[in-house]
Amino acid sequence: MSSREDYHRLRGEVESHNQAYFVYDDPKISDAAYDALYRRLEEMEREHPEWIAPDSPTQRVGGKALDRFEKVEHRVPLLSLEKAYEEAELAAWMEQMARELGRPVDPDFTVEPKIDGDSLELVYEKGVLVQASTRGDGRVGENVIHSVRTIKAVPLRLEGAPELLEVRGEAYIGIADFRELNRRLVEKGEEPFANPRNLTAGSIKQKDPGITASRPLRFRAHGLGVVKGVKFRTHDEAMRRLQEVGLPVVPYERVKDEAAILSYWKRTLEGRDALDHEIDGIVVKVNDLGLREVLGERSKSPRWAIAYKFPSREESTQVLAVDWQVGRSGRLTPVARLKPVSISGVTVSNATLHNPGQIRDLGIRVGDTVLVRRAGDVIPYVVKVVTDQRPLVPETCPTCGARTERTEADVFCTNGFRCPDQLKGAIDHFCSRGAMNIEGIGPEWIEQFVDRGFVKSVADLYGLDTARLMTLDRMGEKLARNMLDAIAGSRKATLGRFLNALGIGQVGEATAGALAGQFGTLGKLRAATVEGLQEVQDVGPRVAESIRRFFDDPGNAAVIDRLAGLVEFRQAERKGDALAGQVVVFTGGLETMTRDQAKVLAQEHGGKTADSISKGVTLVVAGPGAGSKLEKARKLGITVETEGAFLKRIGR
Ligand code: IVH
């Protein structure tokens, strides 16, 4: 059986090992030996729950999750610091103090790193931690003692502390710990944190202390609030005392003048990348506490201290593209390709986006201006999108620079075939199988035709000659001859194919065939009114409008005039008349052809086609997944057959 004294001794022992490890970074025993002591302590507490004191090391983790944080009024406000970005501002600070005092300020300052974390105030009464609060608005913060208890570097009890001791300091998380934690979050499919500071603040504001305990939070003191029972003369003296009673403090140096401050600043900046945590500058403080009182404070910051900042780790730049990188585990990681930007001396042109969720959360898009951060050896990452610099939909075409036009859902270039990309697309379509069927003219050639100015409209294809073709990259004589033959061969075309080749908006192979069947000649079609066009099966008001607009465009009209003089229309090939007098509707999936190809087949065998079921429809070809159209056809008693039966009917 263990006695209460044994328990107290063990409790003290575990706590002192905690301090050796977390406060002084100087462990006295192995991790395994520590674990054994800790387990023994837990065991005793299980046997004698009445012995457990709130400052027992086992009480760092535990307690129930909170619903909300209790508000805490700071006895002395937690001020912030005035910032200097250049030497001149530091000099101005010195002069300002001299003016206030009516004499030069004493040559006695402390300098220390400015830790990029989250500030905390700890209140010790008779050496026991009784309250811990966030800065809040400086006057009122939130009680986060349940979180702070889990920070191993924060002693729950101080040895030989004054009656009341309010300690101010910085909670933070190391860069390596931050990366590791983010890596694990991403692996679990959770969202990573943007930077160590956010992770620190998020961990402290955790309502569940169990989660806070799993976050590797650290703490260092850098100042005092109200103190009772002892009077310090200098900052140096106060910090030494804090260390003596068991508190970790921000490492500081004492310096005499501006030159020494500047040299400390430079040295600290140079060492920044080698540090295991983030710092964003140095803090210079008047050492004499009596002098601090004389100097006093402004509304938000004291006159006796200043932060001399380092160059930013964050810069904004533009996202040029988002690529995916495949890692060793097979995971795909999105990477933002950036317009190169120099961030504290290093040129950054890539930034990790961690995972798809991060893309969504940031709302990042190509073209966005983003804030990019790099720290130490961490892969640069995107902190946030600077939304107000987001370019709207382009007002000009990215290819030709012409004005764009918006419809409800899309943006269009208004330059027609004068836009090289539109022209290339048009030529490709013009040559395709269901159109003029010119074999051997693929994108590789089309690029060159357009880029060299040989082809300014599809009509120019018919003006190409061997001499010109031979100037193209990778062109040979035989190839050129075959190409010209193919072009010449296309001059005998059916009106349907020709209409399809024009690439009229909303007019595909089948509609082109139906238009040709209805109007018979190009001249009649070009003269048709919107109403007249709608007499064609399949053509509704929107398609009719689109056709009319196409023919009315003067540029198009000129090209069509030229083509009309080159192309010799031949009668549409009638492959049979098995479907003469029939009106066919295709519904559901087709296995051997596309819907458009099926419609063309029906037309070639003397039939007409439609898209919806009406009394005029005589045959419905239904495939897998056919729904309401099939039902309606059955109700109306229209003949329904399979794709196979349809193909048999036309002799295929
Ligand atoms: S002294 C009157 N020293 O920086 C304010 N602050 O802008 C006295 N900080 O929220 C603060 N490292 O939490 C001081 N070595 C350091 C610091 C430091 C980080 C934070 C502090 C405060 C902010 C001030």
pLDDT of amino acid 18: 80
The alpha carbon of 191 and the centre of ligand 1 are apart by a number of angstroms equal to: 29
Q: How confident is the model over 73-92, as a mean pLDDT?
A: 93
Helix axes 31-47, 4-22, angle to 10 degrees: 140
Q: Which atom of ligand 1 is the closest one to the Cα of 168?
A: 13
The alpha carbon of 596 and the centre of ligand 1 are apart by a number of angstroms equal to: 71
Q: Which atom of ligand 1 is the closest one to the Cα of 302?
A: 2
pLDDT of amino acid 188: 83
- Most confident listed range (255-259, 308-312, 357-361): 255-259
The alpha carbon of 122 and the centre of ligand 1 are apart by a number of angstroms equal to: 14
- Report how far residue 254's alpha carbon sits from residue 235's, in angstroms, rounded to the nearest whole number: 10
The alpha carbon of 300 and the centre of ligand 1 are apart by a number of angstroms equal to: 12
- Mark whether 227 and 257 lie in a shared domain: yes
Instruction: Please report, as a single letter, which amino acid is at residue 210.
Output: G
| DSSP-derived secondary structure letter, 377 | T
Q: Which atom of ligand 1 is the closest one to the Cα of 112?
A: 15
Q: Which atom of ligand 1 is the closest one to the Cα of 169?
A: 13
Q: In which band, very low, low, confident or very high, does the pLDDT at 313 lie, cut at 50, 70 and 90?
A: confident
Number of domains making up the chain: 6
Does residue 61 sit within a domain?
no
- Mark whether 260 and 334 lie in a shared domain: no
Nearest CA to ligand 1 atom 15: 114
With pLDDT > 90 as the criterion, what percentage of the chain qualifies? Answer: 59
Pocket test for ligand 1, best of 247, 265, 280, 283 (most atoms within 8 A of CB): 283
Q: How confident is the model over 557-574, as a mean pLDDT?
A: 89
Does residue 67 sit within a domain?
no
Comparing 258-272, 322-336, 538-552, the range with the smallest average pLDDT is: 322-336
Q: Of 457, 490, 523, which closes a domain?
A: 490
18: buried, middle or exposed (CB in 10 Å: 19+, 13-18, 0-12)? buried
The alpha carbon of 383 and the centre of ligand 1 are apart by a number of angstroms equal to: 23
Which residues on adjacent β-strands are paired with residue 585?
A: 610, 620
CA distances from 102 to 278, 284, 336 (A): 38, 21, 55
Which residues on adjacent β-strands are paired with residue 584?
A: 609, 619
CATH of the domain at 192: 3.30.470.30
Q: Is the pLDDT confidence value at 494 over 90?
A: yes
- Report how far residue 155's alpha carbon sits from residue 353's, in angstroms, rounded to the nearest whole number: 38
Radius of gyration of the chain (CA): 40
Pocket test for ligand 1, best of 81, 137, 173 (most atoms within 8 A of CB): 81
Helices and strands per DSSP (H, E), number in the chain: 24, 24
- Mark whether 149 and 225 lie in a shared domain: yes
Nearest CA to ligand 1 atom 2: 79
Residues with CB under 6 A from ligand 1: 79-81, 112, 114-115, 119, 135, 170, 222-223, 250, 283, 302, 305, 307
367: buried, middle or exposed (CB in 10 Å: 19+, 13-18, 0-12)? middle
The alpha carbon of 513 and the centre of ligand 1 are apart by a number of angstroms equal to: 78
Q: Which atom of ligand 1 is the closest one to the Cα of 114?
A: 12
Q: Does residue 157 sit in helix, strand or coil? A: strand
Both structure tokens of 548: 């009319």
Q: How confident is the model over 261-275, as a mean pLDDT?
A: 94
- Mark whether 136 and 188 lie in a shared domain: yes
pLDDT of amino acid 256: 97
Q: Which atom of ligand 1 is the closest one to the Cα of 79?
A: 2
The alpha carbon of 113 and the centre of ligand 1 are apart by a number of angstroms equal to: 9
CA distances from 98 to 185, 258, 307, 435, 497 (A): 52, 13, 18, 87, 90
CATH of the domain at 388: 2.40.50.140
Q: Which residues contact 294 (CB under 8 A, 6 or more apart)?
A: 100, 101
Q: Of 363, 388, 413, which closes a domain?
A: 413
pTM of the entire predicted model: 0.55
- Mark whether 597 and 619 lie in a shared domain: yes
Pocket test for ligand 1, best of 170, 250, 253, 289 (most atoms within 8 A of CB): 170
- Mark whether 409 and 421 lie in a shared domain: no
Q: Is the pLDDT confidence value at 359 over 90?
A: no
- Mark whether 445 and 518 lie in a shared domain: no
Does residue 124 sit within a domain?
yes
635: buried, middle or exposed (CB in 10 Å: 19+, 13-18, 0-12)? exposed
Does residue 634 sit within a domain?
yes
Does residue 63 sit within a domain?
no
Q: How confident is the model over 180-207, as a mean pLDDT?
A: 85
CB 7 within 8 A of CB 53: no
Q: Is the pLDDT confidence value at 436 over 60?
A: yes
C-alpha dihedral sign at 8, 13, 16, 21? negative
Does residue 208 sit within a domain?
yes
Nearest CA to ligand 1 atom 21: 119
pLDDT of amino acid 390: 58
Q: Is the pLDDT confidence value at 66 over 60?
A: no
The alpha carbon of 341 and the centre of ligand 1 are apart by a number of angstroms equal to: 30
Q: Does residue 298 sit in helix, strand or coil? A: coil
pLDDT of amino acid 445: 95
Q: Of 524, 547, 570, which closes a domain?
A: 570
- Mark whether 160 and 291 lie in a shared domain: yes
Name the pairing type of β-strands 619-622 and 639-641: parallel
pLDDT digits (tens, 9 = 90+) for 598-648: 988 998 898 988 888 988 899 999 998 888 999 999 999 999 999 999 999
Nearest CA to ligand 1 atom 13: 119
C-alpha dihedral sign at 341, 346, 349, 355? negative
Pocket test for ligand 1, best of 80, 220, 268 (most atoms within 8 A of CB): 80
Distance of CA 179 to the CA centre of its chain: 18
CATH of the domain at 518: 1.10.150.20
Q: In which band, very low, low, confident or very high, does the pLDDT at 384 lie, cut at 50, 70 and 90?
A: confident
- Report how far residue 97's alpha carbon sits from residue 101's, in angstroms, rounded to the nearest whole number: 6
- Report how far residue 467's alpha carbon sits from residue 481's, in angstroms, rounded to the nearest whole number: 11
The stretches of 337-437 forming alpha helices (DSSP H) are 356-362, 420-431
C-alpha dihedral sign at 264, 268, 269, 270? positive
The alpha carbon of 211 and the centre of ligand 1 are apart by a number of angstroms equal to: 26
- Mark whether 101 and 173 lie in a shared domain: yes
- Mark whether 287 and 305 lie in a shared domain: yes
Nearest CA to ligand 1 atom 22: 80
pLDDT of amino acid 377: 62
- Mark whether 299 and 194 lie in a shared domain: yes
With pLDDT > 70 as the criterion, what percentage of the chain qualifies? Answer: 96
Extended strands (E) in 545-603: 568-570, 583-587
Dihedral angle over CA of 125, 130, 136, 139, nearest 10: -30
Q: Which atom of ligand 1 is the closest one to the Cα of 113?
A: 15
pLDDT of amino acid 273: 83
Q: Which residues contact 406 (CB under 8 A, 6 or more apart)?
A: 393, 412
pLDDT digits (tens, 9 = 90+) for 499-539: 999 999 889 988 999 999 899 999 999 999 999 999 987 78
CB 195 within 8 A of CB 178: yes
CB 583 within 8 A of CB 619: yes
- Report how far residue 130's alpha carbon sits from residue 139's, in angstroms, rounded to the nearest whole number: 19
Comparing 362-371, 387-396, 596-605, 612-621, the range with the smallest average pLDDT is: 387-396
The alpha carbon of 144 and the centre of ligand 1 are apart by a number of angstroms equal to: 19
- Mark whether 107 and 154 lie in a shared domain: yes
Kind and range of the H or E run holding 551: helix 541-552
Q: In which band, very low, low, confident or very high, does the pLDDT at 63 lie, cut at 50, 70 and 90?
A: very low
Nearest CA to ligand 1 atom 12: 114
Nearest CA to ligand 1 atom 3: 222
Which of the residues are catalytic? Answer: 114
CATH of the domain at 13: 1.10.287.610
Domain of 345, in residue numbers: 314-413
Q: Is the pLDDT confidence value at 61 over 60?
A: no
Q: Does residue 252 sit in helix, strand or coil? A: coil
Q: Which atom of ligand 1 is the closest one to the Cα of 120?
A: 13
Does residue 68 sit within a domain?
no
Does residue 58 sit within a domain?
no
Q: pLDDT averaged over the chain?
A: 90
pLDDT of amino acid 268: 97
Nearest CA to ligand 1 atom 24: 80
| Number of other residues whose CB lies within 10 A of the CB of residue 88 | 9
